[in-house]
């Protein structure tokens, strides 16, 4: 039984805030990413290939906060994080703060497969991508007007305390010509991370997560996404990809905690994931959710926010695409 789940971020996604047309756009993008991964699994591909392909599809879509469409840092840059992990052999790769590589998840895979390391930061991670011929993009590629507007809004409202050290590159000016993508009125101003988890026909599990982080984040801030065990985890029992306020997920070691609850307490995937999201993260302000799959192909998609862009499909079953709490 192969199985796949994906997410496009969790947060304040009220039903009234998305127009029917915008909702259709999100659903179509989720459906396309799900089909990409599902078709690979159906054709016998490894879980790792399926999660990478699904995440790439979401990174290339400007609706989501990863790759093209990544949120802006306080300084007006994009600093992207990504990680993936292969469960049966516990191999993992991750990048932080990358600025140019079109698909950060591909750079994470390079770290896993072509280096002795697990986590590589900017600028070395972008250089590794260049060395292995991954497409790099100019700053303009990652620009979307709606993310730029979200930064301006966050700056106006002073949503974060910020430092003003000198040691930073010059801020990026907005484009003279707005790009062709017309951003949706996204109230989900700081989220939209993407991720995928899969079980393949051999019973192997894998997880992948990619993000621009949080709007208005400090220069060089690193979230939970690229930290193995916090935002991304896979072993022989389960594969997890998280989304939400990264600092809380880091302190909770959220993804690994699901695996621990299964291993040490013998809980089911669903129960373990529910405990982490509802009982551990929610009470301390850790807003968000996760997607998870276990070795039997069970899927669970818990979140404690208003909504989570999500989709899943198990072998031979119907595709589920959802946004809000049902």
| Backbone phi and psi for residue 294, each to the nearest 5 degrees, phi listed first | -115, 180
Catalytic residue among 73, 96, 144, 193: 193
CA 270 centroid distance within chain? 20
Closer of 102 and 209 to ligand ASP (Cβ): 209
Build a one-symbol-per-residue string for 14-53: x at contacts with ligand ASP by CB under 6 A, - elsewhere. ----------------------------------------
Handedness of CA 32, 33, 35, 40 (dihedral sign): positive
Closer of 80 and 234 to ligand ASP (Cβ): 80
The residue whose two tokens read 């002795």 is 116
Task: Tell me the two tokens of residue 321.
Answer: 């695409």
What are the C-alpha distances in Å from 61 to residues 22, 193, 231, 264?
14, 12, 21, 39
Least spacing, CB of residue 147 vs ligand ASP, in Å: 12
In the region spanning residues 213 to 242, those forming contacts with ligand ASP, defined by CB under 6 A, are 213-214, 223-225, 231
Interaction between residue 211 and ligand ASP (CB under 6 A): yes
Residue 284 gets which letter from DSSP?
A: G
Least spacing, CB of residue 145 vs ligand ASP, in Å: 19
- The Cα 94–Cα 96 span in angstroms is 7
193 in catalytic set: yes
Per the CB < 8 A criterion, the answer to whether 80 and 104 are in contact is: yes
> Residues binding ligand ASP: what is the number (CB under 6 A)?
16
Build a one-symbol-per-residue string for 185-204: x at contacts with ligand ASP by CB under 6 A, - elsewhere. ------xxx-----------
Handedness of CA 160, 325, 200, 202 (dihedral sign): positive
Closer of 13 and 314 to ligand ASP (Cβ): 13
Q: Which residues are catalytic?
A: 193
- The residue ranges that bind ligand ASP (CB under 6 A) are 9, 65, 191-193, 211, 213-214, 223-225, 231, 243-244, 246, 288
């Amino acid at each position: 039984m192969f199985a796949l789940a994906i997410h496009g971020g969790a947060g304040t996604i009220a039903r009234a805030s998305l127009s029917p047309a915008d909702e259709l756009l999100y659903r179509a993008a989720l459906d396309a990413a799900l089909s990409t991964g599902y078709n690979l699994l159906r054709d016998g591909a490894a879980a790792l290939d399926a999660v990478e392909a699904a995440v790439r599809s979401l990174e290339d879509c400007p609706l989501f906060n990863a790759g093209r469409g990544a949120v802006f840092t306080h300084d007006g840059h994009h600093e992207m994080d990504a990680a993936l992990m292969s469960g049966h052999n516990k191999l993992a790769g991750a990048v932080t703060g990358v600025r140019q590589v079109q698909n950060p998840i591909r750079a994470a895979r390079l770290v896993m497969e072509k280096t002795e390391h697990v986590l590589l930061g900017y600028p070395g991670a972008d250089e590794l991508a260049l060395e292995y011929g991954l497409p790099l993009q100019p700053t303009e590629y990652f620009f979307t007007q709606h993310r730029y507007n979200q930064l301006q809004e966050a700056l106006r409202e002073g949503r974060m305390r910020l430092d003003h050290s000198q040691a930073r590159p010059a801020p990026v000016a907005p484009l003279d010509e707005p790009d062709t993508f017309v951003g949706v009125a996204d109230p989900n101003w700081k989220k939209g991370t993407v991720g995928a988890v899969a079980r393949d026909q051999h019973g192997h599990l894998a997880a992948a997560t990619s993000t621009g982080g949080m709007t208005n984040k400090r220069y060089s801030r690193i979230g939970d996404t690229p930290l193995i065990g916090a935002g991304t985890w896979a072993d022989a029992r389960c594969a997890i990809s998280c989304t939400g306020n990264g600092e809380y997920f880091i302190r909770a070691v959220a993804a690994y905690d699901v695996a621990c609850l299964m291993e040490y307490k013998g809980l089911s995937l669903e129960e373990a994931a529910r405990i982490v999201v509802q009982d551990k993260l929610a009470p301390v302000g850790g807003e968000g959710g996760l997607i998870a799959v276990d070795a039997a192909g069970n899927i669970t998609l818990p979140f404690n926010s208003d909504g989570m862009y999500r989709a899943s499909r198990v072998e031979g079953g119907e595709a589920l695409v959802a946004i809000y709490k049902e």
